[in-house]
Amino acid sequence: MFLFLLLMKISRIYKDFKSHLESLERIRLVKSWHDRMITAGSEWKGVIDSKLEQSSVVLLLISASFVESEYCFDIELEKALPMLLPRKH
């Protein structure tokens, strides 16, 4: 399972969550990704779009800074919302 973490900044809540997630990553049940993993020089918008499309789960870690961020709230969240709704077959 590929888990896309949508967050504004690395916070204590994220760090606590990540410590629990690491056991699932260790046994390769889950692979997680967030935008702080983008390497320098990468075309970040394209990387984010690609990773979002690859994800099987999108986890929203919403904070006040997330809501205040125009990019996180208006762009990334808008792209993620359709993935959160049940898919029609």
**84 and 62 in contact (C-beta within 8 Å)?**
no
pTM of the model: 0.75
How far is it, in rounded angstroms, from Cα 61 to Cα 14?
A: 8
> Residue 8 in 3-state DSSP?
coil
Buried b / exposed e over 51-86, threshold 16 CB at 10 Å, is: bbeebeebbebeeeebeebeebeeebbeebeeeeee
Give the tens place of pLDDT for each residue, 3-58: 888 887 777 778 888 888 999 999 999 999 988 899 999 999 899 989 988 998 88
Q: Which domains does the chain have, with CATH numbers?
A: 2-84 (3.40.50.10140)
